[in-house]
Structure 1
Amino acid sequence: MPVDLHTHTYFSDGTMSPEDLLQKAENESLTALAVTDHDEIGANYIAQQYAQSLKLEFVSGVEFSIDIALPGTAHLHLLGLFLEIENDELKSVLNDLRNARQTRAGTIIKKLQDYGLDVSENELDVIVGQGSAGRPHVAQLLMDKNVVDSVWEAFHKFLSKDRPGYVPKKKLKLQTAIDLIHKAKGLAILAHPISLKQRTYKDTEAFLKELKSIGLDGVEAYYASHTRNFTSYLLNAAKRNNLLISGGSDFHGSIKPDTELGIGRGNLSVPDQVFFDLKNAVSK
């Protein structure tokens, strides 16, 4: 049976509760599921408890945005999988990031108000709930207020770089994030390498080699937006460079309706051996 090692709940920018997400994974016969909210591990505490009543195996995780110079709209995200979520340093760093996200969200609202939009922090707080505020929550607020018709429109008109409500996000340096994941006994996995927007497959592999040299453990070869050829290349590149393989849908729920749990856009199937290999690597 397949696994999905990259998902989000409403603790960051997803729309489902941890319980509903795990139950959905169980109903769809996934072998294992990882919750990897952005800069946030709150859902993992709930999911760990809920998973005890299910057959599927649960993996605690997180997704970090990395402060690194890349061309254009390229970006680097790093997954931490199999984390010990009680690690004090991990909790401290995530608390700082959570506070920074809340401050950023307030600044975004203020900029949108100055632009003439009728939005408030109180309205945003209702949408965020227990989670950590982000631009998708602001996009949802703009949809609820009939300012825009879609998340894409919200970003295109108001929230993307150089738009009226854009505020940069606090990010971790790459080495800091890798070291933090390792201190929490987890594996550092490069998320969706397609987002690096390298010119050629060979350029992507060169990038992987560089990341491997500073502690990267693996690469998310299986991903909803990867073509079959790119996935195949990444699998071979991982083997050549002694990197572990991971994979996931990047499921967010109804806010990204084109991406389904476990199958992405219908073209994704992450073999359960991927999970077992990662689990074995952690136990060594």
Structure 2
Amino acid sequence: MAGERRVLTLGGKGFSLSSASVFEFSTASPPPLLKIDPSALARLSSSSSGRKPDQQSSPVKLQLSVSDFLIAEEARASILLLLYKLLLGGSSSSTAASQLLDILNNGSQTLTIDLDVDRKEDADLLKQCWPDTTLLAIFALLDYTATSLATVFDAVAALSWSALKADTSTFNLFTDSGDGLSDKDRASVAKDFKDLLNGSKMKNDLQSEQVFDIPRIHGRLRSVSKSVHSSTRIELNSTPLVQGTASKNLASLFSSLALSLQDLGESSWLRAKNILEGLA
């Protein structure tokens, strides 16, 4: 029912956009109803009307192409982020903001975005930032997915550890010494596993690589995920300035995340293989 739809209001005082909000708006069916805070629209209108007569110019037609390699959710996330960047300072045009709002709330899938922008400088900036905005939207969706995964991969690994009947005393080797020389995320993973496997008295000896894999790999993934999440949130809420800035900043972080996920997959597969061999 339309009356039961959640509402996402952009641009209010103290508001910040999160990867979770981008993901929900882009993937939910039906998506939240999108609104612009009146104060944000007022800022755009006053910025436009407050210019001196010699600074006034005719509205500029701006057309942006939605890349065909984007799936529907990525395209919606990109347009949502473009609107938010416009409210943050990417343009002084309230008309363009209203047009983007209509596109998003109507749920129409379009290959082009046609906007009326007040100044040529604003149109040029939005055009230059559009490719970077698209990549940033994809990063936001990946960030939310990785963060969601981080809440379950420890529990799944603990189940495999229990199935292997492995010695939980191994995790006592990983502690936070408090002297700044220990890996806090690795120690935190070890503590969580001791809590998850509390009471287990298994004593099956595994190869040393498998014993140390969980604190090492899961600790690294936890650390990288936090860094990715923090940096993505900063870039989502920054004013668009230079083409390519956000994507260059985040690309290396997501490369590290991809490598960490690869290590996690290989480690998980090895434990699963050992479990199957034990059953045989």
TM-score range, shorter chain: under 0.3
The structure carrying a bigger helix percent of its residues is: 2
Structure number with greater Rg is 2
